[in-house]
Chain A
Amino acid sequence: MSAASTVVKQPEAVNYLNVDNRIKSWLLTEDHKRIGILYLITISLMFLAGGIFAMLIRLELLTPAGDLVMSDTYNKMFTMHGVIMIFFFLIPSIPAVLGNFCLPIMIGARDVAFPRLNLASWYVFTAGAILGITALVLGGVDTGWTFYTPYSSSFSHTPVIIAVSGVFVAGFASIFTGLNFIVTIHKMRAPGMTWLRLPLFVWAQYATSLIMVLGTPVVAITLLLVAVERGLRIGIFDPALGGDPVLFQHLFWFYSHPAVYIMILPGMGVMSELIATFSRKRIFGYEFVAYSSLAIAVLSFLVWGHHMFVSGQSMYLSMVFSVLSTLVAIPSAVKIFNWTVTMHKGHVALYSPMLYALGFIGLFTIGGLTGLFLSATAVDIHLHDTYFVVAHFHYVMVGGAIVAFLGGLHYWWPKMTGRMYPEPWGKLSALVVFIGFNLTFFPQFILGYLGMPRRYHSYPDEWQTLNVLSSAGATILASGFILVAVYLLWSLRYGAKAPANPWDATGLEWKTSSPPPPTNFTQRPIITEEAYNYPIVLSNNGEPEEAMKQEGAEKHEHA
């Protein structure tokens, strides 16, 4: 560790950022780190677009009457919010940004297995995002993000074909990333980096990549068929042509439920890194946490029918899907328990990434447990398509995936940019996001329980108080996100120079300089120890105790 950090101190050291500053060198780069940064820029812009729609939705719901926009416009707003946030932000967020940047370094490789395919992935994704924005500029799509037929095939007068093409194209970016990661993890590991020495982030990315590779082609063909049905009247799903719309739902959810795990699994990977680093301890039950990622990936393909309890599928099918959906709770709980136990008797250091991680544990637990309510068929029939469902998946997608993304972004920011973010502001943002989030979405559980349906722009007067609370929370949450954007951008110029290992963490990415050199390491690392090998020291009474590197931590605090 110390040997590597002496290399860093020389100011003129060549790193992946200063090696070539021309725009062309960025647009044609094959460096996984630069591609991660390119992805970060694209998805941040998409997050902004999706966020604006979220705020417009909350603004409309401030009052019971549908007074800000017409119902048609409202349909377009929640559709574009969902499409952008899911396909153009959440799915690529952690894998394509943090995964792209960190994964090859974490396994001791110079790059991913297919660097050009990696760059192609970003171009394809950007093309998809442009198509998505084009659909928006042409008036927006009103089908809901699920593109259910026959809404999307026969009854919509909006640019559905352009929107589904955008999602179709972005799907290929996802396949490219997944394929690249699987091959990279299998074939590019440094000598001594056995499977059970891999950081848990890598395990999570592996499980995610399996889902990307196996699921995405199915939604691709499904959306292609919707486009063909609209454009050429070759109908597979149109009842007027003898088709069955429920088949669309089966095919769509066969991908789109696993896609939920594409969004949350990488977040769980980030969590394992944060918890281990800031508790100065090896993750409790490493193997269980690693295999639980695979278990979630496998189960993810067996539960899609829980979206269709009221779509007229067979009662017996619903019973099977209900049981299988409940099983997802087991690997998820394994993770939560093991993280908590890791913190137990650890030296927990409450830096901003750790604050985000603690937020994740609370929010994901609520999101996961309410998922159990919804997997029970009888309860689901009451709660289906209400705000309870909206609150549930936002607790998982925002409280889980986005909070983990922000935690990971703070954690690896010094590595990615070579600058420290301002710690007090980081802590404040974690707090603001946590409070804003709960205020936005907790009232929605109650609203859903009371029966408020999703996707309507007006509601009875008695629900206004809870809706006002939710809209107020959304404002706080948005301020939290803006705060993060402002100080992270600020730190690019004014932040303190980051040392190679500001957190005193284990892991190969901390053994190279910040920012890393173009080939990641000056010489190929050889791995001789397991992940999270934090030193154990004996305390005064002879009990083994994990060492806390107080010195290193303080050094950074004053930096």
Chain B
Amino acid sequence: MSTHEGDMYVGHQFEDAEQQLDSYSIGMWLFLVTEVLFFGGLFLAYIIYRTRYTQAFVAAHHELDWRLGGLNTVILITSSLTMALAVRAAVLNRMKAVLGWLGLTLLCASGFMVVKYVEYSAKFEHHLFPGPKFEFQHAGVDSGQAQMFFNLYFAMTGLHGAHVLIGMITMMVLAIRLWLMRKQRVDFIPIELTGLYWHFVDLVWIFLFPLFYLVGGN
């Protein structure tokens, strides 16, 4: 049912490679729109409670280490660069370079998750995970309001972390498939789509970092 135009695989439902590429691009952008709205609900909740419990949020955010958050920001931005280079290499049909850049992106993503793990374990140790064991003492701040900060922190960074994990799995599958088909021309569409997704994940973090780690300042 499918034809190969030059070296490009074209699905049976499409007339040509251009129509296929356009369709996949629009589809991916639409998917990212749904992702924006998915996170949007949480950002709305953040805005409301941040406005309502300003003092508690400022006090609670001191429990987060901005250096670790900053490190993760640098790691993720770097990974966006390596991802962009992987896409470029794919367009130029340089198989080894694609695999190399994808590998580096994966490495950065793993680094991000390790830092996240360190941060999360510290919160658990200090009884800052919401629930019956939650403890937060600070003069003039209601512990329940501070807990809302950590509710949102865990919900939003947790959901973001899940997206990082999904991105990592996608990249691994992609790398394995590319390796198996290394004799053929690089099919750049999946790499480009994964790239779009990865930049989105990066972008969400660009918002999360200041909202949680830098909020209120000093």
Contact = CB atoms under 8 A, between A and B. Distances in A.
Q: Do A and B come from one complex?
A: yes
Interface of A: 109-115, 175, 179-180, 182-183, 186-188, 213-218, 220-222, 225, 228, 232-236, 240-244, 247, 251, 519
B42 A221 contact: yes
Give me the 3 closest cross-chain CB pairs, A-B, nearest first: A221-B41, A217-B38, A111-B13
A228 B30 contact: no
Contacts of A115: 11, 13
B70 interface: no
B26 A217 contact: no
Given A112-B13, A179-B31, A241-B147, A233 B45 contact: no
A23 B218 CA distance: 66
B180 interface: no
Contacts of A247: 44-45, 48
Contacts of B30: 179, 182-183, 213
Q: Summarize B's interface: helix, strand, loop or mixed.
A: helix
8 contacts: A113-B27, A179-B30, A188-B13, A221-B39, A242-B142, A242-B145, A247-B45, A251-B45
Contact of B131 (A112, A222, A232): A232
B155 interface: yes
A213 B34 contact: yes
B23 interface: yes
Given A186-B23, A243-B148, 15 more contacts: A111-B12, A113-B13, A114-B27, A115-B13, A183-B27, A187-B26, A217-B40, A218-B40, A233-B131, A233-B132, A234-B130, A235-B130, A241-B148, A242-B148, A247-B48
Interface in B43-88: 44-45, 48-49, 53
Contacts of B118: none
A218 B38 contact: yes
A220 B42 CA distance: 11
Contacts, number: 104
Given A236-B45, A241-B151, A187 B19 contact: yes
Nearest to A250: B44
A251 B155 contact: no
A221 B46 CA distance: 13
Interface string B9-43: 00111000001001100110011011101111110
Contact of B151 (A180, A183, A235, A519): A235
A235 B144 CA distance: 11
A240 B134 CA distance: 13
Interface in B145-204: 145, 147-148, 151-152, 154-155
Contacts of A186: 23, 26
A217 B37 contact: yes
B27 A242 contact: no
B169 to A, nearest CB: 17
Interface residues of B, number: 36
Contacts of A109: 13
Contacts of B23: 113-114, 183, 186-188
A242 B152 contact: no
Given A114-B27, A179-B34, A225 B148 contact: no
Contacts of B31: 179
Contacts of A218: 37-38, 40-41
A234 B155 contact: yes
B38 A221 contact: yes
A9 to B, nearest CB: 27
Contacts of A236: 45, 148, 151-152, 155
A232 B33 CA distance: 28
A341 B130 CA distance: 61
Given A188-B13, A242-B145, A233 B130 contact: yes
A109 B45 CA distance: 43
B209 to A, nearest CB: 20
Given A188-B23, A242-B145, A251 B151 contact: no
Contacts of B33: 213-214
Contacts of A221: 38-42
A183 B26 CA distance: 6
A286 to B, nearest CB: 26
Nearest to A190: B15
A195 to B, nearest CB: 15
Nearest to B44: A251
Contact of B144 (A114, A187, A242, A519): A242
B142 to A, nearest CB: 8
B112 to A, nearest CB: 22
A184 B210 CA distance: 39
Nearest to A519: B12
A472 to B, nearest CB: 44
B1 to A, nearest CB: 9
A243 B22 CA distance: 44
Nearest to A184: B23
